[in-house]
Chain A
Amino acid sequence: SRGAEGAAAPPVFTWLSDGTKDSESFTAAARDQFQEELVIRPLHSGDIYASFQFRTLWDTDFLQERQKVSHYRLFPKSLGQVLSKFSVRELHISFTQGFWRTMQWGQPFIPSPPGAELWVWFHDTVSDVDGNWKELTNVLSGIFCASLNFIDLTNTVQPSASFKPLGLGNATDHRFLRYATLPREIVCTENLTPWKKLLPCGSKAGLSVLLKSEKLFHSSFHSQAVHIRPVCQDEQCTSKAWELRQTLNVVFDLYTSGQGKKEWSLFKMFSRTLTEACPLATSSKVYVDITDNPEVKLKQQTVVLGDRRTYSVFDLTRAEMFGQLRSLNLLLRDMLRPLLHAERYVAGFGLQTGEIHTVIYNNHPYRAFPVLLMDSVPWYLQLYIHTLTVTSKSRDNKPSYIHYQPAKDRHRPHLLEMLIQLPPHSMTEVTVQFERALLKWTEYTPDPNHGFYVGSSVVSALVPSMVAMNTNFTQDQPLFSSFVPVKEESSYFVRVYTEPLLVNLPTPDFSMPYNVICLTCTVVAVGYGSFYNLLTRTFQVDEPSLPLAKRLANLIRRIRGVPLLA
């Protein structure tokens, strides 16, 4: 019926309803398909949020025992080989530059912590998970030109509750899960290029034309990610498919760079315009959030993360689209405050002890909801777990579930997971004290006075929805709203990352070992020298020499020829 509607509508408006109909017959034969999507949302702060999603679906099974998958079409070969070699069931990797300001910008479509984050579910046939993990991080660091090879056992954890598989299959045994972050990782062009290379159209056609690195990295926030997981091919879930989602989120600060004018265009943001859809894509759409700009009448409604928002849709597979996307002026209105929000900081003074404060806000006016807080702290901050306090509204709030795995020096980090009930409209504070360890002098980074990073803590929650889910829309969901499976209609899944911490550790003077060696050697040598003299020299009483007056007298006497004085 949707197709009939689309056909009946006047040509100008057809692109608004549904544009994927005609391409579906073509994809029926192919076993893989590709979709691309761009969402543009003006933010409350005057910034523009652009979120790209590229999705490749392939109904194959990389984990098949008897037959290796070796013939690739749209799915990138390098990632496919990694999946089958390391028996990966799910892989999520993100590289982020900048910090997502939840309070000002609201919820992102796919959250990510600053730096690099990697979490992988291995298949349950893997016997040596740690070995696979080590090798996998090395291979991925080659593929993405990133320092993922610095992931080792000292910064890897196995969260018990916070990271569940997002794809098919309900794996619960967290022995097959590995999670690591590198908060220090700096993301730049060399990471973007290999990421773009994974797209079937590269940066030659379609939405990826806009991904020009000098503009993308001249922004307040940049995050690129790759998510691979097995998903259902259809609604009945009769067959399994592998999904590769490449996402790129960027926040442009156009307000300050554009002389205070609240307007944007694709050209201003990316210094490119769109000319065509990727010919390999079955759907290629641009969504523009016009919730705050109701004058634009053409719209399609969808519910994303609990807010009812209105989007106008531009389907790039329609030739008549081009020329319309150039400039769109906007009026801005207040946005809803995010329901869940978290921040973190280090308190205390001196270089011996300190305290980590994590503050979680529930902004819902009348609903309480539980959140899972996960903290992974490096071993060199020795947590005093007995000082753990959780307070909400200045009253003690006892977590209903605590999973704590203490660190082992130089072997594994602390892992702390808690299930905390957040009272409505409240601020919950979690504090824990720690002592800073002294590292061995080779364990310091090249710039130790910069401080040591502690990865973001992760708050995962099912947040009660403000608006009921729009059920009309499940048939043809846009990509940005379909990443996390929604089971309950009254609540939605949210993951919030806090800021990474920068902690100063007591730093020695690195020339100290040599100074110590020199000083000790000198002391030993002086002691030895006098001892040696004492043992080997002979001492004899010396005749006292004549006093100066007598010697002078003798001199005169010698001249005069008189006998000398004794």
Chain B
Amino acid sequence: MYLQVLAACYKALSDHHQRGRYAALAIAAVVIVVGIPLWWKTTETYRAWLPFSEISELDSLQLQLSVDIEVVFSRGTLTPEQQKKFPLSHVNEKEHQVDGLRYKYETRYRTATIMEEDALNQPTAAEADLSLHMLSEKDVKVYVGQRRTALLRSPPFKSSWSLKEVLSNLDVEVEQVVSTMSFSHQDIVAALSDRVRMAKVTKESMADSMRAIKSSPGYEITFSLLNPDPRSHSLHWDIEGAVQSCIQPLLNKLAPIANFSVDSQILYYAVLGVNPRFDNSVSAYTLSADSLSHVINPVEARLGSNAASSNPVLNFLLYVPDSHHSPLFIRDHSKREVPSNAFHSPRWGGIMVYNVNEMYGPEAERPVDININMAKVMGVFLAQLRLMLGVQHTHPPTGFVLQSPGSAGLADWELDRLLWSRSVENIATASTTITSLAQLLDQIGNIVINDNIAQQVSSAVTSLQSAVAELEAGNLAFALQYSREAILASERAFFDPSLLHLLYFPDDQKFAIYIPLFLPMCVPIVLSLLKIVSEAKKRRADKQAKSD
């Protein structure tokens, strides 16, 4: 009887135990199945899908630049046997594994057509005449024209040579011409310098790329006339006419690269930051090369930024020294006077000093009306502008003659060079922006990614891919166009203010809010689960002991 009661009691107790165990398990299950997903869902930040895999492909991007070359032999340069095999084409690929660069030169050889022969032989066609005339001079081997043509004079081929020998003989010179008129490896690496940090870049092309203003969809060019002494000088400059005749042709030519806007202003009582030193030997004031770096700062405060756009500004200052400090000359590092009396500051602009002291006598009535010779000024500014825009100095090999770019200020092949390096630079910049954005978003989970950002990112990626494809196909204009779109979209995504909204939500605040609820709720659940587990273990051990 007693035993029976004890057994019933034990059963009831174990029933109780069983029930409690089930309740604990059920609560734990509810917390895990309903509670955690609910909490997860309600505190989640919205993150739109980004093409991460494509972006990571961009990081290891292979760029291929293609150049089409046509070599035309004029009549009489080749023997009929050699000519038989024409037309002929030949593809030459160079690969630079380290930089992910591949160059493809597709060369086609043919003889000149009758019309081309005529054009070359015609004495009236001024260009042909001039070029032939110059070619007949002894030391000129190659003449590079304003357009995309070059004339090459090579020593006469032996008639016994096979065509292959002739071509390989010619190859060296053709290559020189091509590297002058299209991109050179150094330029491209310099343009990529944002992406690839390398010691291989020569100092010179590095200097060129640092001098040139960064690629941007637009530039503001501002001409400022600084008149520190309006009491004695009343200066007049026909800036409108000068811009129209000197700067505008160049900008029209550069229109595919960027939008340019030109404006001008006159600043009175604007002074340079350094006091020029009086040099008795030449009875003139001089600015030494070391002090030039201090000249700009006080002037810059007066220049004013462009309120209406956010494009980079190129400043060109014309400084007319006041009557007590003239004439003023700029001296270079070797203490010689700079003939143009001007200097430029990389990526910022140029300053030219214009002395007017000889234009009036000491007894002239103040203020003296002075007209500034704009042709002289604009010549200097145009040269500086070309440097800023990245139209690099080409150093042609000896024996090369480059036709001056003429009124347009830029030869077609120079524009091509610019298009190449700008496209590459844009692609590099855009892909860097996109990859770093993707990296950032990947690292910080708090950032909300809105749909519009995702859209910008994917449009940047597609534009980048098309730009690379166009570059490969050799369509420079389209490549640049797409690369600009890529830059715009990537910057818009990168600088979108909505990325910052939840960025600063520190973890300690989150814990401060969660702990008062979660700690008291989780501790009993975890403890009872532990207890259940340990009981189960004990029971199994008991069973094993029994069976043993």
- The interface of chain A, by Cβ under 8 A from chain B, is 68, 70-74, 76-79, 81-82, 84-85, 139, 142-143, 197, 200-202, 204-205, 276, 279-280, 514, 517-518, 521-522, 524-526, 528-529, 532-533, 535-540
Contacts and interface: CB of A to CB of B under 8 A. Distances in A.
Given A70-B261, A70-B263, A201-B268, A524 B20 contact: no
A76 B303 CA distance: 10
B12 to A, nearest CB: 9
A78 B304 contact: yes
B21 to A, nearest CB: 8
A341 B46 CA distance: 56
B264 interface: yes
Contacts of A276: 231
16 contacts: A70-B264, A76-B304, A81-B306, A201-B230, A201-B269, A205-B269, A280-B230, A514-B512, A522-B516, A522-B520, A525-B516, A529-B524, A535-B20, A535-B24, A536-B24, A536-B528
Interface in B515-534: 516-517, 519-521, 524-525, 528
Query: 8 tightest A-B contacts by CB?
Result: A525-B520, A521-B516, A538-B16, A70-B263, A521-B517, A204-B269, A85-B308, A535-B23
A279 B231 contact: yes
B513 A536 contact: no
Nearest to A140: B307
B268 A280 contact: yes
Contacts of B262: 70
Contact of A77 (B20, B265, B367): B265
Contacts of B266: 72-74
A272 to B, nearest CB: 16
B230 A279 contact: yes
Contacts of A528: 520-521
Interface residues of B, number: 40
A276 B232 CA distance: 13
Interface in B176-225: 222
B240 interface: yes
A540 B24 CA distance: 19
B27 interface: yes
B302 A197 contact: yes
Secondary structure call for the A interface: helix
Contacts, number: 107
Given A85-B308, A280-B268, A537 B516 contact: no
A139 B306 CA distance: 10
Contacts of B27: 532, 535-536
A126 to B, nearest CB: 15
Contacts of A525: 516-517, 519-521
A78 B222 CA distance: 12
A197 B304 contact: yes
A540 B367 CA distance: 113
A82 B306 CA distance: 9
B518 to A, nearest CB: 8
Contacts of A522: 516, 520
A532 B524 contact: yes
Contacts of B240: 71
Contacts of A279: 230-231, 367
Given A70-B262, A142-B307, A536 B269 contact: no
A17 to B, nearest CB: 25
B88 to A, nearest CB: 53
A456 B266 CA distance: 39
Given A204-B269, A279-B230, A532-B27, A72 B263 contact: yes
Contacts of A535: 20, 23-24, 27
B78 interface: no
B239 interface: yes
Interface in B19-41: 19-21, 23-24, 27
B13 A538 contact: yes
Contacts of A280: 230, 268
A336 to B, nearest CB: 42
B269 A77 contact: no
A196 B304 CA distance: 13
A72 B307 contact: no
Nearest to A138: B307
B101 to A, nearest CB: 41
A539 B528 CA distance: 16
Interface string B489-520: 00000000000000000000000110011011
A200 B268 contact: yes
Given A81-B263, A279-B231, A514-B513, A139 B268 contact: no
Question: Most chain-B Cβ atoms within 10 A of its Cβ — which of A70, A81, A529?
Answer: A70
Nearest to A139: B307
Contacts of B302: 197, 202
Nearest to B18: A538
